[in-house]
Protein backbone atom coordinates (compact mmCIF):
# COMPACT_ATOMS: atom_id res chain seq x y z
CA UNK A 1 0.00 0.00 0.00
CA UNK A 2 1.34 3.41 -0.98
CA UNK A 3 -0.03 6.30 1.10
CA UNK A 4 -0.75 9.49 -0.83
CA UNK A 5 -2.17 12.92 -0.08
CA UNK A 6 -4.09 15.21 -2.41
CA UNK A 7 -2.51 18.57 -3.18
CA UNK A 8 -4.06 21.29 -5.34
CA UNK A 9 -0.87 22.92 -6.52
CA UNK A 10 0.92 26.10 -5.53
CA UNK A 11 -2.34 27.84 -4.60
CA UNK A 12 -3.14 25.13 -2.02
CA UNK A 13 -2.85 26.54 1.53
CA UNK A 14 -1.54 23.12 2.56
CA UNK A 15 2.14 23.10 1.69
CA UNK A 16 4.15 20.16 0.41
CA UNK A 17 6.55 20.74 3.31
CA UNK A 18 3.74 20.08 5.80
CA UNK A 19 2.49 17.02 3.89
CA UNK A 20 6.03 15.62 3.91
CA UNK A 21 5.90 15.61 7.72
CA UNK A 22 2.88 13.25 7.92
CA UNK A 23 4.26 9.83 8.90
CA UNK A 24 3.93 7.29 6.12
CA UNK A 25 2.86 9.67 3.35
CA UNK A 26 5.12 9.11 0.35
CA UNK A 27 3.11 10.21 -2.70
CA UNK A 28 1.21 13.27 -3.89
CA UNK A 29 -2.04 13.17 -5.86
CA UNK A 30 -2.42 16.25 -8.03
CA UNK A 31 -3.33 17.52 -11.49
CA UNK A 32 -2.90 20.40 -13.93
CA UNK A 33 -5.65 22.81 -12.89
CA UNK A 34 -5.16 25.73 -15.27
CA UNK A 35 -5.83 23.95 -18.57
CA UNK A 36 -9.37 23.97 -20.03
CA UNK A 37 -11.29 20.71 -19.82
CA UNK A 38 -10.62 18.79 -23.02
CA UNK A 39 -7.26 20.39 -23.78
CA UNK A 40 -4.01 18.44 -23.96
CA UNK A 41 -1.95 18.86 -20.81
CA UNK A 42 1.44 20.18 -21.97
CA UNK A 43 4.32 17.87 -21.12
CA UNK A 44 6.33 20.81 -19.79
CA UNK A 45 3.62 21.59 -17.21
CA UNK A 46 3.40 17.95 -16.12
CA UNK A 47 7.16 17.70 -15.73
CA UNK A 48 7.29 20.99 -13.80
CA UNK A 49 4.64 19.70 -11.39
CA UNK A 50 6.55 16.46 -10.94
CA UNK A 51 9.78 18.36 -10.25
CA UNK A 52 8.08 20.56 -7.67
CA UNK A 53 6.73 17.53 -5.84
CA UNK A 54 9.99 15.60 -6.00
CA UNK A 55 11.92 18.62 -4.74
CA UNK A 56 9.77 18.38 -1.60
CA UNK A 57 10.83 14.77 -1.09
CA UNK A 58 7.60 13.17 -2.34
CA UNK A 59 6.65 11.09 -5.40
CA UNK A 60 4.21 11.98 -8.17
CA UNK A 61 2.80 8.82 -9.74
CA UNK A 62 -0.95 9.37 -9.82
CA UNK A 63 -3.28 12.05 -11.09
CA UNK A 64 -6.71 13.03 -9.85
CA UNK A 65 -8.32 13.87 -12.10
CA UNK A 66 -8.03 14.16 -15.86
CA UNK A 67 -11.57 15.48 -16.47
CA UNK A 68 -13.71 13.94 -19.19
CA UNK A 69 -15.35 16.63 -21.33
CA UNK A 70 -19.15 16.76 -21.27
CA UNK A 71 -19.25 16.35 -25.06
CA UNK A 72 -17.72 12.88 -24.60
CA UNK A 73 -20.33 11.96 -22.00
CA UNK A 74 -23.06 13.31 -24.25
CA UNK A 75 -21.72 11.50 -27.33
CA UNK A 76 -21.48 14.64 -29.45
CA UNK A 77 -19.63 14.81 -32.77
CA UNK A 78 -16.73 16.65 -31.15
CA UNK A 79 -15.91 13.70 -28.92
CA UNK A 80 -13.36 12.07 -31.24
CA UNK A 81 -11.05 15.10 -31.15
CA UNK A 82 -11.54 15.44 -27.39
CA UNK A 83 -10.70 11.76 -26.91
CA UNK A 84 -7.59 12.21 -29.06
CA UNK A 85 -6.57 15.06 -26.74
CA UNK A 86 -7.19 12.80 -23.74
CA UNK A 87 -5.00 10.10 -25.28
CA UNK A 88 -2.18 12.60 -25.79
CA UNK A 89 -2.48 13.78 -22.19
CA UNK A 90 -2.07 10.15 -21.08
CA UNK A 91 1.10 9.88 -23.18
CA UNK A 92 2.51 13.01 -21.56
CA UNK A 93 1.63 11.75 -18.07
CA UNK A 94 3.29 8.41 -18.79
CA UNK A 95 6.43 10.19 -19.97
CA UNK A 96 6.56 11.88 -16.58
CA UNK A 97 6.19 8.55 -14.76
CA UNK A 98 2.50 8.69 -13.81
CA UNK A 99 1.11 5.21 -13.10
CA UNK A 100 -2.58 5.77 -12.30
CA UNK A 101 -5.16 8.26 -13.60
CA UNK A 102 -8.37 8.81 -11.67
CA UNK A 103 -11.36 10.13 -13.62
CA UNK A 104 -15.14 10.13 -13.39
CA UNK A 105 -18.08 9.91 -15.76
CA UNK A 106 -20.63 11.90 -13.73
CA UNK A 107 -22.77 14.22 -15.84
CA UNK A 108 -22.33 17.95 -15.09
CA UNK A 109 -21.31 17.68 -11.41
CA UNK A 110 -18.56 15.49 -10.04
CA UNK A 111 -19.86 15.74 -6.48
CA UNK A 112 -22.97 17.00 -4.73
CA UNK A 113 -23.32 18.40 -1.22
CA UNK A 114 -26.01 20.60 0.27
CA UNK A 115 -23.78 21.96 3.06
CA UNK A 116 -20.05 22.65 3.19
CA UNK A 117 -19.71 23.40 6.88
CA UNK A 118 -22.20 21.41 8.92
CA UNK A 119 -21.49 21.93 12.60
CA UNK A 120 -20.77 18.70 14.46
CA UNK A 121 -21.18 18.24 18.25
CA UNK A 122 -17.41 18.42 18.82
CA UNK A 123 -17.20 21.86 17.17
CA UNK A 124 -15.70 20.68 13.88
CA UNK A 125 -17.44 21.15 10.54
CA UNK A 126 -17.95 18.78 7.63
CA UNK A 127 -19.46 18.31 4.20
CA UNK A 128 -23.05 17.01 4.31
CA UNK A 129 -25.89 15.99 2.03
CA UNK A 130 -29.61 16.45 2.72
CA UNK A 131 -31.60 14.32 0.28
CA UNK A 132 -34.86 16.21 0.79
CA UNK A 133 -33.20 19.54 0.07
CA UNK A 134 -31.56 18.18 -3.09
CA UNK A 135 -34.79 16.56 -4.30
CA UNK A 136 -36.77 19.74 -3.73
CA UNK A 137 -34.67 21.74 -6.20
CA UNK A 138 -36.25 22.45 -9.56
CA UNK A 139 -33.23 22.33 -11.83
CA UNK A 140 -35.02 24.20 -14.62
CA UNK A 141 -35.46 27.19 -12.30
CA UNK A 142 -31.80 27.19 -11.37
CA UNK A 143 -29.51 25.36 -8.99
CA UNK A 144 -27.74 27.04 -6.12
CA UNK A 145 -25.80 24.73 -3.86
CA UNK A 146 -22.41 25.01 -2.16
CA UNK A 147 -19.44 24.62 -4.44
CA UNK A 148 -21.42 24.89 -7.66
CA UNK A 149 -22.20 28.54 -8.20
CA UNK A 150 -18.91 29.31 -9.97
CA UNK A 151 -18.73 26.08 -12.00
CA UNK A 152 -21.01 27.19 -14.83
CA UNK A 153 -22.79 30.29 -15.97
CA UNK A 154 -26.56 29.94 -15.60
CA UNK A 155 -27.09 29.59 -19.35
CA UNK A 156 -24.30 27.01 -19.63
CA UNK A 157 -25.78 24.94 -16.82
CA UNK A 158 -29.26 25.04 -18.31
CA UNK A 159 -27.89 24.08 -21.70
CA UNK A 160 -26.15 21.03 -20.26
CA UNK A 161 -29.20 19.96 -18.28
CA UNK A 162 -31.34 20.20 -21.40
CA UNK A 163 -28.79 18.21 -23.42
CA UNK A 164 -28.85 15.41 -20.87
CA UNK A 165 -32.63 15.14 -21.23
CA UNK A 166 -31.78 13.23 -24.43
CA UNK A 167 -29.29 10.89 -22.71
CA UNK A 168 -30.64 8.14 -20.50
CA UNK A 169 -28.54 5.78 -18.40
CA UNK A 170 -28.15 3.22 -21.19
CA UNK A 171 -26.95 5.87 -23.64
CA UNK A 172 -24.47 7.11 -21.04
CA UNK A 173 -23.22 3.52 -20.70
CA UNK A 174 -22.70 3.40 -24.47
CA UNK A 175 -20.80 6.68 -24.36
CA UNK A 176 -18.58 5.38 -21.56
CA UNK A 177 -17.87 2.22 -23.56
CA UNK A 178 -16.96 4.34 -26.60
CA UNK A 179 -14.54 6.38 -24.47
CA UNK A 180 -12.92 3.32 -22.89
CA UNK A 181 -12.54 1.48 -26.19
CA UNK A 182 -10.47 4.40 -27.43
CA UNK A 183 -8.57 5.24 -24.25
CA UNK A 184 -7.72 1.87 -22.67
CA UNK A 185 -5.48 0.66 -25.55
CA UNK A 186 -3.44 3.86 -25.24
CA UNK A 187 -3.28 3.44 -21.46
CA UNK A 188 -2.01 -0.12 -21.97
CA UNK A 189 0.68 1.10 -24.35
CA UNK A 190 1.75 3.78 -21.88
CA UNK A 191 1.68 1.60 -18.77
CA UNK A 192 -1.05 3.69 -17.17
CA UNK A 193 -3.96 2.27 -15.20
CA UNK A 194 -7.26 4.10 -15.54
CA UNK A 195 -9.34 4.23 -12.35
CA UNK A 196 -12.94 5.44 -12.58
CA UNK A 197 -14.38 7.16 -9.50
CA UNK A 198 -17.93 6.28 -8.39
CA UNK A 199 -20.84 8.70 -8.43
CA UNK A 200 -20.89 10.98 -5.41
CA UNK A 201 -23.42 10.40 -3.97
CA UNK A 202 -24.47 7.12 -5.64
CA UNK A 203 -28.01 8.19 -6.44
CA UNK A 204 -29.95 10.12 -9.11
CA UNK A 205 -29.52 13.90 -8.99
CA UNK A 206 -31.80 16.37 -10.86
CA UNK A 207 -32.85 13.68 -13.32
CA UNK A 208 -29.28 13.19 -14.58
CA UNK A 209 -28.23 9.61 -15.36
CA UNK A 210 -25.82 8.00 -12.90
CA UNK A 211 -24.08 4.75 -13.82
CA UNK A 212 -21.33 4.16 -11.20
CA UNK A 213 -23.47 3.59 -8.11
CA UNK A 214 -23.16 0.01 -6.88
CA UNK A 215 -21.61 -3.43 -7.24
CA UNK A 216 -23.37 -4.26 -10.50
CA UNK A 217 -22.25 -0.99 -12.08
CA UNK A 218 -18.63 -1.60 -11.06
CA UNK A 219 -18.77 -5.13 -12.47
CA UNK A 220 -20.18 -3.88 -15.75
CA UNK A 221 -17.44 -1.27 -16.05
CA UNK A 222 -14.52 -3.65 -15.55
CA UNK A 223 -16.17 -6.12 -17.92
CA UNK A 224 -16.57 -3.51 -20.69
CA UNK A 225 -12.89 -4.02 -21.44
CA UNK A 226 -11.20 -6.91 -19.68
CA UNK A 227 -7.86 -5.27 -19.10
CA UNK A 228 -5.85 -4.44 -15.97
CA UNK A 229 -5.68 -0.90 -17.37
CA UNK A 230 -9.45 -0.58 -16.95
CA UNK A 231 -9.93 -0.32 -13.21
CA UNK A 232 -11.50 1.48 -10.29
CA UNK A 233 -10.98 4.22 -7.78
CA UNK A 234 -12.89 2.60 -4.94
CA UNK A 235 -14.10 5.47 -2.76
CA UNK A 236 -15.50 4.21 0.53
CA UNK A 237 -17.18 7.52 1.27
CA UNK A 238 -18.95 7.83 -2.08
CA UNK A 239 -20.11 4.22 -2.28
CA UNK A 240 -20.66 4.05 1.48
CA UNK A 241 -23.22 6.85 1.22
CA UNK A 242 -25.47 4.29 -0.49
CA UNK A 243 -26.93 2.00 2.21
CA UNK A 244 -27.15 -0.79 -0.38
CA UNK A 245 -23.35 -0.91 -0.77
CA UNK A 246 -21.12 -3.16 1.34
CA UNK A 247 -17.74 -1.51 0.89
CA UNK A 248 -15.76 -4.32 2.51
CA UNK A 249 -17.34 -6.84 0.11
CA UNK A 250 -16.58 -4.56 -2.85
CA UNK A 251 -12.92 -4.37 -1.82
CA UNK A 252 -12.71 -8.14 -1.57
CA UNK A 253 -14.40 -8.74 -4.92
CA UNK A 254 -12.73 -6.13 -7.09
CA UNK A 255 -9.47 -6.00 -5.18
CA UNK A 256 -9.30 -9.76 -5.49
CA UNK A 257 -9.61 -9.32 -9.26
CA UNK A 258 -6.78 -6.77 -9.27
CA UNK A 259 -9.03 -4.02 -10.56
CA UNK A 260 -8.77 -1.48 -7.73
CA UNK A 261 -5.91 0.87 -8.57
CA UNK A 262 -6.68 3.72 -6.17
CA UNK A 263 -8.37 3.58 -2.78
CA UNK A 264 -10.10 6.59 -1.28
CA UNK A 265 -10.73 5.83 2.38
CA UNK A 266 -13.05 7.95 4.50
CA UNK A 267 -16.04 7.48 6.75
CA UNK A 268 -19.62 8.75 6.50
CA UNK A 269 -22.56 8.68 8.85
CA UNK A 270 -25.58 7.65 6.78
CA UNK A 271 -29.25 7.87 7.68
CA UNK A 272 -31.90 5.47 6.31
CA UNK A 273 -33.45 8.22 4.15
CA UNK A 274 -30.19 8.86 2.29
CA UNK A 275 -28.84 11.85 4.20
CA UNK A 276 -25.18 11.67 5.18
CA UNK A 277 -22.41 13.66 6.76
CA UNK A 278 -18.68 13.13 6.50
CA UNK A 279 -17.03 12.17 9.76
CA UNK A 280 -13.62 11.48 11.18
CA UNK A 281 -12.02 8.36 9.70
CA UNK A 282 -12.28 6.36 12.93
CA UNK A 283 -14.68 3.41 12.55
CA UNK A 284 -16.77 4.38 15.57
CA UNK A 285 -17.44 7.87 14.18
CA UNK A 286 -19.47 6.82 11.15
CA UNK A 287 -21.48 4.07 9.50
CA UNK A 288 -18.47 2.33 7.90
CA UNK A 289 -16.11 -0.13 9.56
CA UNK A 290 -12.85 1.34 8.34
CA UNK A 291 -10.82 -1.29 10.18
CA UNK A 292 -12.63 -4.06 8.29
CA UNK A 293 -12.19 -2.20 4.99
CA UNK A 294 -8.44 -1.81 5.54
CA UNK A 295 -8.18 -5.48 6.50
CA UNK A 296 -10.00 -6.40 3.27
CA UNK A 297 -7.41 -4.47 1.27
CA UNK A 298 -4.64 -6.29 3.12
CA UNK A 299 -6.27 -9.68 2.66
CA UNK A 300 -6.49 -9.28 -1.13
CA UNK A 301 -2.85 -8.24 -1.34
CA UNK A 302 -3.53 -4.65 -2.37
CA UNK A 303 -0.33 -2.91 -3.50
CA UNK A 304 -1.86 0.20 -5.04
CA UNK A 305 -2.29 3.77 -3.92
CA UNK A 306 -4.50 4.96 -1.09
CA UNK A 307 -5.33 8.37 0.25
CA UNK A 308 -7.31 9.69 3.17
CA UNK A 309 -10.27 11.27 1.46
CA UNK A 310 -12.23 14.27 2.68
CA UNK A 311 -11.70 15.35 6.25
CA UNK A 312 -13.49 17.61 8.68
CA UNK A 313 -12.26 21.13 9.30
CA UNK A 314 -10.82 21.06 12.81
CA UNK A 315 -8.71 23.16 15.18
CA UNK A 316 -9.84 26.42 13.59
CA UNK A 317 -8.43 25.59 10.18
CA UNK A 318 -9.87 27.41 7.19
CA UNK A 319 -9.52 26.77 3.48
CA UNK A 320 -11.05 24.39 0.94
CA UNK A 321 -13.85 22.50 2.78
CA UNK A 322 -13.03 18.83 3.13
CA UNK A 323 -9.38 19.36 2.27
CA UNK A 324 -7.81 20.81 5.39
CA UNK A 325 -4.45 19.48 6.53
CA UNK A 326 -5.19 18.36 10.07
CA UNK A 327 -8.04 15.88 9.83
CA UNK A 328 -6.72 14.30 6.64
CA UNK A 329 -3.33 13.90 8.33
CA UNK A 330 -5.04 12.16 11.23
CA UNK A 331 -6.82 9.95 8.70
CA UNK A 332 -3.56 9.00 6.97
CA UNK A 333 -1.92 8.06 10.26
CA UNK A 334 -5.01 6.09 11.34
CA UNK A 335 -5.11 4.12 8.08
CA UNK A 336 -1.37 3.43 8.26
CA UNK A 337 -1.79 2.27 11.86
CA UNK A 338 -4.56 -0.13 10.90
CA UNK A 339 -2.44 -1.47 8.03
CA UNK A 340 0.59 -2.03 10.27
CA UNK A 341 -1.55 -3.82 12.87
CA UNK A 342 -3.11 -6.14 10.29
CA UNK A 343 0.26 -6.73 8.65
CA UNK A 344 2.00 -7.70 11.89
CA UNK A 345 -0.93 -9.80 13.13
CA UNK A 346 -1.03 -11.69 9.84
CA UNK A 347 2.72 -12.29 9.96
CA UNK A 348 2.45 -13.56 13.54
CA UNK A 349 -0.34 -15.94 12.55
CA UNK A 350 1.75 -17.31 9.69
CA UNK A 351 4.74 -17.81 12.00
CA UNK A 352 2.64 -19.67 14.57
CA UNK A 353 1.15 -21.89 11.85
CA UNK A 354 4.55 -22.81 10.41
CA UNK A 355 5.79 -26.33 11.28
CA UNK A 356 8.47 -26.46 13.94
CA UNK A 357 12.02 -27.02 12.72
CA UNK A 358 13.44 -30.49 13.33
Q: 14-45, pLDDT tens digit by residue? A: 999 999 999 999 999 999 999 999 999 999 99
* Catalytic positions: 197, 235, 264, 309-310, 323
CATH at 242:
3.20.20.150
| Percent with pLDDT over 90 in the chain | 85
pLDDT band at 137 (very low <50, low <70, confident <90, very high): confident
286 is in which domain, residue-wise? 2-353
Query: Taking a C-beta distance cutoff of 8 angstroms, is the pair 187, 258 a contact?
Result: no
Local structure of residue 243 (DSSP, 8 states): T
Secondary structure (3-state) at 50: helix
Q: CB within 8 A of 213, min separation 6: which ones?
A: 198, 199, 202, 203, 242
Find the angle CA(182)-CA(234)-CA(309) to the nearest 5 degrees: 120
Which alpha helices (H) appear in 226-304, and where do they start and end? Answer: 236-240, 247-250, 256, 290-299
Residue 4: is its pLDDT beyond 90? yes
| Percent with pLDDT over 70 in the chain | 96
Backbone torsion region of residue 252, taken as left when φ is above 0, otherwise alpha when ψ lies between -120 and 50, otherwise beta: alpha
Residue 358 in domain: no
Express each pLDDT in 119-128 by its tens digit: 999 999 999 9
Express each pLDDT in 149-164 by its tens digit: 556 777 888 899 999 9
Residue 86: is its pLDDT beyond 80? yes
Helix axes 290-299, 325-353, angle to 10 degrees: 50
Residue 34 in domain: yes
Domains held by the chain: number: 1
Amino acid sequence: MKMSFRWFGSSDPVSLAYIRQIPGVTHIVSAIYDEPVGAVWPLAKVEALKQQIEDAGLAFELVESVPVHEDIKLGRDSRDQLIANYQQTLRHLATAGVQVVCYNFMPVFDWTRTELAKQLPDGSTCLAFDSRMADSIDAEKGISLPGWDSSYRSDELQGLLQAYRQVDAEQLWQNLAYFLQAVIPVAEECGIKMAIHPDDPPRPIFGLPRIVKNRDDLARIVDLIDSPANGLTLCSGSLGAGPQNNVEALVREFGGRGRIHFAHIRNVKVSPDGDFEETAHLSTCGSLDIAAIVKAYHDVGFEGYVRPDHGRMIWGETGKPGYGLYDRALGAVYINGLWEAVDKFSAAQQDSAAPAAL
